[in-house]
Structure formats: C-alpha cells, structure tokens
Amino acid sequence: MADISTATAVTRRMTYTEFLDESPMSPFLWLLLIGCIVAQILDGFNFQSTSFVLPLVIKEFGINQTQAGALGTFTNLGLMFGALIAGPISDRIGRRPMFQAVVFTYAFGTLLSALSHNYGFLLAARFVTGLGIGGEFPVVATMLAEFAPKNLRHVFVGMFTIGYSLGWFVCAAAANLVVQPFGWRALYLLGVAPALLILYVRAFIPESVRFLLDKGRVKEAGDVVQQIARRNKRTDVELVLPPASQLKAGIGFRKQYSMLSIVAVPLIVLAFFHMSNNVQVVGFQTWLPSIFVKAGFTLTKSFKFTMIVLAVTPLGQLFAIWLQDKMPRKWAMMLLSATSALCFVVTGLGFEFKYPIAAIIACYVGYQFFSGGVSPILSTLATEIFPTKVRSLAYGILSACARIGSATGPLILGFFLTLGTEIHQIIYYFALPLVVAAVVVVIFIKTDLRHKGLEEAVEA
C-alpha cells in the first residue's frame, strides 16, 4: 500500500512556467522577496539621502537653489541612463548578474558622494549613484514578476515599490540621528552598505527561469526549477519541458528594439504616465525638507515633518496592492491619481491661506498616501504587459522616461524657488499633468491582466 501511495502521489504534470505560476508561498519565494525588498530599501535610502543633506551642502559649498536642484537632476539623469543600459543588458545576459552589477554601482557612487570635496565632484558622484539605482528598477521588477505566482504577482511587484518607499523613511530616520552630530557625509557613508547584498544574491537568488527558457538554455532552467521543487519538498508534481514556443534562442539588440513596435501603444502611454507622476512626486520629495525650512521651521523640525510624510507612503502602497486586485489596474490608477490630485491642491490652499502646520501636513500626508499607491500598480502593469524578450528593456525605457520627469521636477521647482514663486502656486502648476496621464491610460490600456500567467498576459 505504501508503494502504491507513493507511486500515485505524483499525479500532475506541469511545465516549468506552470509550476512557477501556481506555486504557493515557499522558503525560496520568501528569500527572493526579502532580498529584493532589502535591495529596494537601500536603493530608496541612497536616492533620498540628497534631500536630507541638501541644506548643509548648500551652506558648505556656497551654491544657490538652482544648483542644489541640479544635484537631484544629475541623480535622476543617472537613473535614466542606468535604466536604459541595464534593461537591455539584463535581457541579454541575465537578471542575476545585472542585479549584482547595479548594486555595486550605486554603493560605489554613494561612497564617492561621501568623499566629495567640492560641488562638481558631488554632481559626478550622484550621477554614478543614479546609474546603479536606475539600473536596479528594471532588473529587480522583472525578476520578481518572472518568479512570482500569477495570483501573487501584484503583491510581489508591489512589495518591490514598497521597499523603495521604506528606504525613504529609513533615510529620514537615519538623517535625524546622524546628520546633525556627524555631518552630511555620514549619511552617505551609511549608503555604502548595499555592497554586502551581492553576497546574498549569489547565495540565494538563481537566474530567472523564464529568461533561461527564452534563451534556449533549457537544461539550466530545468535545474533551477528542480532545485526550487526540492527545496520546497514538492513531490506532488512531475515537471516537464515547456512548449516549443517558449524555447526560442536569444535575439540581438537590433531585433530586440524592433520588437518594441508590437507593444508601442502601451509603452508610450505608460511612459507618459510614469513621467508625469515623477515630475510631481520626485520634484516635491527632493525639496520637501528645504520647503519646510523656507516656511520658517528649523532643520530638525523639517526633517521630522518630512519623516511623518514619508512614513505614510508604504501604507498607501499596501492599499494600492489590495485595490488593484479588486478592479482592473488602469481604473485603480485613475482613482488614486484623481484622489491624490485633490489632496495636493488642498495642500496648496493650505500654504496660500496659512493653515496651521498640522493641517498642511495632514493634507500632504493624504496626497502622499494616494500618490504613493500609484507606483505598485504601474510597476505591476509594466512587468506583465511585455514579452520576456523585451520585458526588462521595456521596463527600463519606462523607468528612463520616469527619470526625465524626476530630473526636471527638482530642477523646475528649484528654479521657481529661485524666482521667489510661492509654494502654493508651484503646487497648482504641478497638479494637473498626472490626472491627464491617468485618463490616457484608461483610454488606451484595453486588457485586464489580473490572475493571468505572464505568457497569457502577453497574448491578451
């Protein structure tokens, strides 16, 4: 009887991708998810650190507000080029080696930032840091989407964005502890820690199975899946080769870029949305401590106010992860964009009519809650709507377009501040583009991709 029971225990034949799509949470998936979240926390920490050192950098290097805004611009230019470089290379050589490369790059750039002795050197260091930060977005998001079970893909990719936001909060907390007693360079030195993450990736995170299949490296893909099945004690399935359509050989860069014409409409629409979102969000996040200082608060209080605002972002993203599983993703994006715009305008009214600071912060917290929720939905859409051959490339292009917004947002806001423009006027200028972009997404994104495997989603 025992032999018969054992023999009949394996009753279901599953392809490698079906096994991934239908897997329950497992030790391997937890290791993958935790590693990617930690990477994004450190990513967000390194990006946000400039916001908290900016007042002291302005004082030490004797620069004006437009030059200070350029620090955020150069960082975001680095993010833009990093995404454009890492995306297609990840589709060529693999997610795992590029993951390690981008982590090293932004840790090295942060070390250079801490060692900066003048404004020009700091500009260059922030650009290098941005290369690594920007490169991590398409690589990590793609890896999470390609390993995640189809019913949890919105959670995996959403947690990726939450990790980035948690990095902002961790940076705010660290800034409160180290900047005043030890100086602004101490905050950058803390950002060198990501270099240790390379060891974690090498020990626990394998190459993407879908990437290996797409490159025709069937044996390696089978080895990874079998290893995952053994570690998870999955004796109830028989793993078989996927269909021949998933076993095509790799393609060159020219062919890879030509394939983007197939998905040109969603690529353009999502790029416009991503850019509009980052003009607004990053522009204000970069300058938030300085805006509070300009409003008459001490540096310590401005850091605390900023930390309160940033702390709510992960809560908004958790709400968005839940929401995008209850309605089509595009409608969830529209709802959150419209609500955040309303809170943003009310924040502007607060500055204009001199509301109590508690009321202004409450309005901005509401804005941060809803606008922060946009990112997990956008990232989920961006990882599931493109085929494996160009998934990281397409996500990299979207990230690069977002960084155009991120680069111009702080620069434009700094320029307005230099001209003496009131904060409430700037808020009104920045409020409209994201709502327009959300309407465009609703019109042009036609399919609902919830609970579909990545191969099904691409066909849809």
237 has which bridge partners?
A: 12
Report how far residue 261's alpha carbon sits from residue 258's, in angstroms, rounded to the nearest whole number: 6
| Amino acid, res. 385 | I
Identify the burial level of 285 via C-beta atoms within 10 angstroms of its C-beta, where 0-12 means exposed, 13-18 middle and 19 or more buried: buried
CATH number of 2-459: 1.20.1250.20
**Tens digit of each residue's pLDDT, the chain (460 residues):** 344 444 445 567 888 888 888 888 888 899 999 999 988 888 888 888 888 888 888 888 888 877 887 887 788 789 889 989 998 899 889 999 999 999 999 889 999 998 988 988 999 999 999 999 989 989 999 999 999 998 999 999 988 888 887 887 888 888 888 888 888 888 988 888 878 888 888 888 999 999 998 888 888 988 999 888 888 777 777 778 777 655 666 666 677 777 777 888 889 999 999 888 888 887 777 777 777 776 667 667 777 777 777 778 888 989 999 999 999 999 999 999 989 889 888 888 887 787 887 888 888 889 889 988 888 999 999 888 888 888 888 988 998 888 788 777 877 887 887 887 777 788 888 888 888 888 898 898 888 888 888 877 666 6
Asked if residues 323 and 443 have their Cβ atoms less than 8 Å apart, the reply is no
Q: Show the tokens assigned to 68.
A: 């200070």
String of DSSP letters for 275-341: HHHHHHHHHHHHHHHHHHHHTT--HHHHHHHHHHHHHTHHHHHHHHHHHTTTS-HHHHHHHHHHHHH
The answer for 354, left when phi > 0, alpha when psi is -120 to 50, beta otherwise, is left
Asked if residues 15 and 139 have their Cβ atoms less than 8 Å apart, the reply is no
Among residues 438, 34, 106, 91, the alpha carbon closest in space to that of 276 is found at 438
Domain spans of the chain, in order of start: 2-459
pLDDT tens by residue, 17-73: 888 888 888 888 999 999 999 888 888 888 888 888 888 888 888 888 778 878 877
Among residues 358, 393, 384, 396, the alpha carbon closest in space to that of 455 is found at 384
pLDDT tens by residue, 342-378: 988 888 888 778 788 788 888 888 988 998 888 899 9
Asked if residues 386 and 394 have their Cβ atoms less than 8 Å apart, the reply is yes
Residue holding tokens 């820690």? Answer: 193
Asked if residues 126 and 50 have their Cβ atoms less than 8 Å apart, the reply is yes
- Give this prediction's pTM: 0.79
pLDDT tens by residue, 425-443: 888 888 888 888 888 988 9
| Amino acid, res. 329 | R
In b/e form, how buried is each residue of 186-199, taking b as 16+ CB within 10 angstroms? bbbbbbbebeebee
Q: Where are the beta strands (DSSP E) in 189-278?
A: 237-240
Phi, psi angle pair for 239, to nearest 5°? -85, 130
Length of the chain (residues)? 460
* Torsion (CA) 324, 327, 332, 334 in degrees, nearest 10: 160
Among residues 274, 276, 279, 272, the alpha carbon closest in space to that of 412 is found at 279
**DSSP H helical segments within 353-422, as ranges?**
357-372, 374-384, 391-419
Report how far residue 330's alpha carbon sits from residue 442's, in angstroms, rounded to the nearest whole number: 6
Q: Show the tokens assigned to 166.
A: 């948690």
Report how far residue 336's alpha carbon sits from residue 375's, in angstroms, rounded to the nearest whole number: 10
| Amino acid, res. 5 | S
| Amino acid, res. 195 | A
Asked if residues 113 and 125 have their Cβ atoms less than 8 Å apart, the reply is yes
